[in-house]
Amino acid sequence: MKKNLCIICLAIFATFEIHAQQYKIITSVESIVPSGIGRSRIIDAQEEKDFAEYTSEQTEEDNTRNKSKRGNIRVKNFEETKLLNFYNIAGIRFQNIAANDAVTSSKLTAMAADGWELVFVSSAVESDAGDKDGQGIFITRYVFKKD
């Protein structure tokens, strides 16, 4: 009886697949540069990087650094989806914002259809700092996970 119970338990546990969760980040960058001269995009990296290759540990006794070059971190395979800029010559373009929302919604829907679950969204703005600063972006990071 004990033997049969052990065999049944092992068979049940063997049917469960144990795996780690995957995470993926999609970033949208929307220009808030006046006159519409900025660039706005959704960026989706199409290759993976191992953070351990670019990580070093600093201690008081040993101040050695990771010897990998920063250029190795660059991702050359990525998907770039065009978005419209928030501004044009006349000012804020609400139609552009609505268009960006529609394109972003489409991307998020496609990610969900591929089995990714949106778990966190983080936004930030680097905006115009006055008359002499004509720069600015609105950045949003969408964090997804897949079991």
The dihedral through the CA atoms of 56, 61, 62, 63 has a sign that is positive
Q: Using an 8 Å Cβ cutoff, are 119 and 144 in contact?
A: yes
Lowest mean pLDDT among 14-28, 63-77, 78-92, 128-142: 63-77
Q: 142 pLDDT exceeds 60?
A: yes
CA distances from 1 to 8, 13, 60, 111 (A): 11, 18, 60, 48
Is the whole-model pTM more than 0.85?
no
Which backbone phi and psi does 63 adopt, to 5 degrees? -105, 40
pLDDT at 66: 55
| Diameter over CA atoms, the chain | 83
Q: How many CB atoms lie within 10 A of CB 43?
A: 16
Q: 81 pLDDT exceeds 90?
A: yes
pLDDT at 140: 96
Strand partners, 120: 143
